[in-house]
Structure 1
Amino acid sequence: MPVTDWDAIIVGTGPAGSVLACRLRPGRRVLLLERAALRDRTARADAAVPRIGDPIGAGKLDCGDVSVGAAASDNREVFAGADVPRIGESLPGAARVLLQRCGAFDRFVAAGHVERGATVSQWERDGPVWFDHLRDPNGPGWHLDRARFDADLRASAVAAGAVLIDDCGALRVTRDGDYWCVDTGRPAAARETQNALHRAPVLVDATGRNAAVARQLGIARRVEDELICLHAYLPPDALDEDRCTRVCADSNGWWYSVRVPSGQRVLAFHLDADDAELRALKALPALLDKARRHAVLADVLPASADKTVHARPAGSAVLDRTALAGAAPGFFAIGDAGLSFDPIASQGIFHALASAESAANAIEWSDGSGDPAAARDAFLAEMTAVHTHYRQRLHDTYAAPATYRQWPFWLRRDLG
C-alpha cells in the first residue's frame, strides 16, 4: 500500500482543525481528513475550495464531518441526526487576534457576520438585567453564520497550503515507531489522487464531541453533565427587530434566544436528559407555551410556528487527562474533542480557536526542542488550567438563580 508522509495529520475540519491547519502552514506538510461530503450543507461557501489534486482555487470540494473507525455517537434515541443545523452561536471580540494569527480574519470580515447586540438576562433577579459590550476593549463580537464560518476556515486552510481529503471512509489509526499512521480504508486505485495510508509524527483529534480518534485509542471521555439542548429555528418575522441575546432561568433548566444572521430566531431550552418533560417539549407548541411564561422571551416569540424541535447533547465533557498523558507523543485533542463546554459559558467556538493556537505552539516548541512528550505535557497542563477555571465559573453561574435553587436541575449543578 502506498504511504504518504506528512508533518501533521488533523482529523476533523471544524473551526479547531481548520485553524490549526492554518497555523501549521506553510512551514509544514499538513493533511486534513474528512469522512463525508459537506456540499449539501455549505455549497455556496465551499464551492471555491479545491479538492485534493486540483490547483488551488480551481475546483469544488465535497467535505464532511469526521468519525474514526466504528466509534458510536453519544446521541440517544431522542437526539436528531447530524444534519440538524447549528443553533445560534457567537464569537467574542477577543477571537479577532486568533483569527488574525491564522490568516483567516480578512475572509471572516468579508463574510458579514452580524455584530452582537446587548444581552438581556433574567437569571439572578426576578426582573431583566441588560449588559452591553461598550466597555469591552475587544469589541462586541459577532453572531455567526455557522455554516459559512466553518466553510471559510476550511477554505483558509486549503489556501494556506493544507491538503484536504474528503469522503475518505472509516479511518483506522495505528502507531508505527515514531509515526502515527492513518488508514482511510480505501484502496489507492479507488482514487487516482488519494493514497490510502498516511503517516505523521503529529496526529490531532478535532472531531468534536465525538472525540472519535481519542476513543479509538482507548482514551475515555468523561461526561460531566447530562444536559440536553432542545432548539428550533423560528421563521423570520418582519416585526422582530430585536438584536439582543436573551437568557432566562427556569425551574427545570434555562433558555436562550437570539436572531441569527439568516433572520430566523433561535429558541433553545437546556434541561436534564432524564427530565420527564423532555419528550413533551419536542413539540414546538409546548416549547413555545413554556417559553412565553417568561416576559423576557414572550416579547420576541411568534404567536405560533410549525417547525421541528431538535435535540442535542450539550453538557460538559472532558477526555481523561491521565490517559492522554500516557498516549504516545504527538497526539493532541483540540476543541470539543478535548473539552466541551456547557453552552451557558458561551465559550465553545472561542475554545476551539484557542486550543488550536495552544496546540500549534506546542507542536512548534516540539520541533524546536526535539522533546514531543514535554511539548504535549505543556499543552495538557494548559488545557487542565482552562478546565479548572471553566468549572469555577460554571459553579458561580449556576449558583446565582436563588429562586430555583431547591429544584432538582439546579441542585444537580451545585458544583461546590
Structure 2
Amino acid sequence: MPVEHWDVVVVGAGPAGAAAALAARRARPEARVLVLDRAGFPRDKVCGDGIAPEALDVLGGLGLDPAAVTAGYPAVPRLRLRSPDGTTVERATRRPSHVIPRAVLDARLVAAAREAGAELRRHLVRRITVGPDGVEVDGAVTAGVLIGADGAESVVRRAVGVPRNRPDQLAVALRGYAPVPAGQRDVQVILTTEQRWPAYAWSFPIGDGRANVGYGELTSGGATRAGLLEGLDRLLPGVRAEELKAHRLPLSTGRPRQPDGRVLLAGDAASLINPLTGEGIFYAVLSGALAGAAAGAGAGAGAAYRRALARRLGRHLRHSSAASRLSRWPVLMDAALRAAAVSQRVFDDVVHLGLADGRLTVPTLVGAAGSLRRPAP
C-alpha cells in the first residue's frame, strides 16, 4: 500500500486539534490537512465544559461564528469564588462565559474544520517516526508537520521524548453531571478548601437544569477515586452526580520546551492547563491556532511555534506559575479573594488570570497585601 503524504497531520480532534486544522487551512488554503482521532464524533470528553469568552475570540479569529459555537447554551454571567477560609465573592464577570458539553463543542469544532477543507479519519495512532524530511505515522501516512493535540496521555509527546509532568505538576479531577444546586442557575461556582490543599470543586450550569460538577487535587497528595468522591461530597454536599469520570490535568507549571523541528505539541499534550483553576480550553484553542499557523514553516515549524507561544502566552504563563506558587499558602488565596470582594477591578483581574491570559496586576497585589494587614474577623 502506498504511503500517503499530507502537508499537516493533526493527532487528536479536540479543541486544540480542530483549531490547529482550521488555522493551517486558513494560513495556507492549498494545504492538505489530515486530522486523526481514535474516537468517533460526537463523543464525550471528561472536562469542566466551561468556555471562557477569550476562547470564543480565538475561534472567531479562525472564521467561526461564536454564536453558532454556543447555540443552545445560554451565557453564564456570574462567577462565585470561595477561598480556603470560607471568604466568598460573587460578581458579574466582565464578559459572560458559556458551559457547553464537550460532546457538543468538539463535534461542532470538528465539523467546522471539515467544512474548511480538513479531512477527519478515525484512527488510533501507535507509532511515530521523525525523519529529516517529514514525520511518518504508523507506516501509512507521512506529514510535513505533525501536530500532537492528543491530550494528557499524548502518544506524540512520548514519541519525541518529552516526559510526563512530575506529580506536583499534575492534577487529577473527577467530573459528573447533577441537577443545578439551588441558587446557581446562572452562576459558575469554584470552591477551594484547606483540606488536601491545593484542591477545589466546581459547579457549572449547562442551561438545561443540569450542572457539570467536579473536584480536583494534585496527584502528589496521593489522590484516589475514593478521596475525590469524598472531596466532591464535602464541597458540594447533597449533589447527586452521575456519569462520574476522572481525568489527568498536566499543569502549565510543568510545560515542556517546544522542540525544534516538524513535531508540535498543543493543548493538554503541551501541559497547557491553568494551574490555578484547571482551565484548559482557552489554552487549547489558542495553542492549536498558533501551531496550525506555524505548520507552514516546515522544518522550522517548531522554532516558529515556540516563538509564537512565547509572544502570546509567555508573560501570562510566568505570572500564572508565580500565582500558583504563592497560592500554596492558603492565607494568600484568602487575601486575594477578600480584595476581590471589595474591588470589581481585582475580581476581574483574578478571573482573567485564572480563566484566560491575564497577569498578576498591581491592584490585585496591593489589594491582597491590604487584606493581609486587615485579616477577616
Shorter-chain TM-score range: 0.7 to 0.9
**Structure 2: runs of 5 or more not aligned:** 336-377
Q: 8 Å contact 1:88–1:260 — kept in the other structure?
A: no
Q: How many angstroms apart in 2 are the aligned matches of 1:208 and 1:340?
A: 10
Aligned AA (1:320):
P
1:336, distance to aligned residue in structure 2 (A): 0.9
User: Which residue number corresponds to residue 117 of structure 1?
Assistant: 77
TM-aligned CA distance change 1:257 to 1:174, over 3 Å: same
Instruction: Name the SS for the 1:202 alignment partner.
Output: strand
Greater Rg, structure 1 or structure 2?
Answer: 1
Contact preservation (8 Å) 1:88, 1:259: no
Counterpart in 2 of 1:218? Answer: 161
Q: TM-score, normalised by structure 1?
A: 0.68
- When residues 262 and 401 of structure 1 are mapped into structure 2, their CA distance, relative to the original with a 3 A threshold, is farther
Q: What's 1:23 paired with?
A: 23
1:200 aligns to 2:143 (yes or no): yes
Report if aligned partners of 1:204, 1:331 keep a CA contact under 8 Å in 2.
yes
- Could you tell me which residue of structure 2 aligns to residue 8 of structure 1? 8
Residue 160 in structure 1 maps to residue 106 in structure 2: no
The correspondence of residues 251-270 of structure 1 with structure 2, limited to 5 A, is: 251-252=195-196, 253-270=199-216
Deviation by residue 1:172-218 (Cα, 9 ceiling, x = unmatched)? 211343111112x6xxxxxxxxxxx2222211100011121120222
Q: What is the aligned partner in structure 2 of residue 82 from structure 1? A: none
* Alpha-carbon distance in 1 for matches of 2:60, 2:274: 27
Alignment RMSD (CA, Å): 3.2
The change in CA–CA distance for 1:93 and 1:121 in structure 2 (over 3 A counts) is: same
Distance 1:15 1:333 in 2: 13
Q: Give % identity.
A: 26
Alignment-derived partner of residue 151 in structure 1:
107
* Counterpart Cα distance in 2 of 1:276 and 1:109: 38
| Alignment pair present for 1:313 and 2:313 | no
Tell me, in whole angstroms, the C-alpha distance in 2 between the residues paired with 1:372 and 1:157: 21
For 2:169, what is the secondary structure of its paired residue?
coil
TM-score (structure 2 length as normaliser)? 0.75
Decide whether the 8 Å contact of 1:214 with 1:333 is kept in 2.
Answer: yes
Shift of 1:150: 0.4
Q: 1:242 aligns with which of 177, 182, 185?
A: 185
Q: Which amino acid aligns with 2:155?
A: A
Summarize the Cα distance change of 1:122–1:361 in structure 2 as closer, same or farther, 3 Å threshold. Answer: same
User: Counterparts of 1:18 and 1:157 in 2: how far apart (Å)?
Assistant: 6
* Deviation (angstroms), 1:310: 3.2
- Contact between 2:256 and 2:271, CA under 8 Å: does it hold in 1? no
| Structure 1 gaps, min length 5 | 43-84, 186-196, 292-296, 406-416
Q: In 2 relative to 1, CA 23–399 (structure 1 residues): closer, same or farther, beyond 3 Å?
A: same
Partner in structure 2 of residue 233 of structure 1: 177
Candidates 278, 297, 307, aligned match of 1:378: 307
Higher helix share: 2
Q: How many residues align?
A: 326
Relative to 1, partners in 2 of residues 1:36 and 1:232: Cα closer, same or farther, differing over 3 Å? closer
* 1:112-155 Cα deviation digits (max 9, x unpaired): 2321231111216633211212xx3xx21212222111000000
- Aligned: 1:180 with 2:135: yes
Structure 1: distance between partners of 2:300 and 2:213: 48
Find the aligned partners of 1:386 and 1:359 in 2 and give their Cα distance.
Answer: 18
The whole-number CA distance in structure 1 between the counterparts of 2:306 and 2:266 is: 14
Q: Which amino acid aligns with 1:117?
A: P
Among 54, 65, 75, which residue is 1:105 paired with?
65
How far apart, in 2, do the equivalents of 1:38 and 1:281 lie?
A: 32
Larger strand proportion, structure 1 or 2?
2
